[in-house]
């Protein structure tokens, strides 16, 4: 059975291109994650790993859609190999049924990890430059629309701090920090 795995980093990103490729390749079952590839705790990836059976082929558009670092990539491939499942990456033309495919998988995995590290390094450098120019102030604070009303209820003693935090969906430290910063 051909199993397709598709991943994009955020909910807003579009999976159409990857899905079209999977349809073109005739996959029988498709698993789609919409979250960062940094973690292996992706729900659809985990579902796919329990779904696959001996003789299946897992197909991805590219290695970067499957894993973000060499260690995770090799561990995932090892997990598949233990189940006697083949891995194919279309973009890099890697097929783990061949010795060359296994070797190239390791090389491309290392290159993908290096590329990711370079991206993070450039991002960090860009943020530092923007900060020195006064153009980067960090993430904009999110203000809950009910914050002032709920804090007033808490200060009057109408509700407990725990109830206020629950209503606002805030952690204890965030709640008290925002209370200290509030102007009323």
Active site residues: 9
In three-state secondary structure terms, 15 is coil
CA 48 – CA 176 distance, rounded (Å)? 42
Is residue 143 within 8 A of residue 171, CB to CB? The reply is no
| 8 A C-beta contact, residue 7 and residue 66 | yes
Cβ neighbors of 81 (< 8 A, separation 6 or more) are: 96
57-60 vs 94-95, strand pairing mode: unpaired
Going by C-alpha positions, the residue among 63, 67, 86 that lies closest to residue 76 is: 67
> CA angle 91-46-21, nearest 5°?
30
Question: What is the rounded distance in angstroms from the CA atom of residue 103 to the CA atom of residue 110?
Answer: 11
């Amino acid at each position: 059975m051909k199993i397709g795995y598709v991943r994009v980093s955020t909910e807003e990103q579009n999976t159409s291109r990857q899905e079209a490729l999977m349809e073109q390749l005739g996959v029988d079952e498709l698993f789609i994650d919409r979250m960062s590839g940094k973690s292996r705790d992706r729900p659809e990836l985990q579902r796919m790993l329990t779904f696959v059976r001996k003789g299946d082929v897992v197909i991805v558009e590219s290695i970067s859609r499957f894993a973000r670092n060499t260690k995770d990539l090799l561990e995932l491939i090892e997990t598949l190999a233990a189940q006697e499942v083949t891995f194919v990456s279309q973009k890099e033309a890697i097929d783990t049924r061949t010795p060359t495919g296994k070797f190239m998988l390791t090389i491309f995995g290392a290159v993908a990890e290096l590329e990711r590290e370079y991206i993070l390094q450039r991002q960090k450098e860009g943020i530092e430059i923007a900060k020195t120019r006064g153009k980067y102030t960090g993430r904009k604070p999110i203000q809950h629309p009910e914050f002032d009303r709920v804090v007033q209820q808490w200060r009057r003693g109408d509700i407990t701090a725990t109830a206020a935090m629950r209503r606002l969906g805030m952690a204890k430290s965030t709640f008290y920090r925002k209370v200290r910063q509030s102007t009323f």
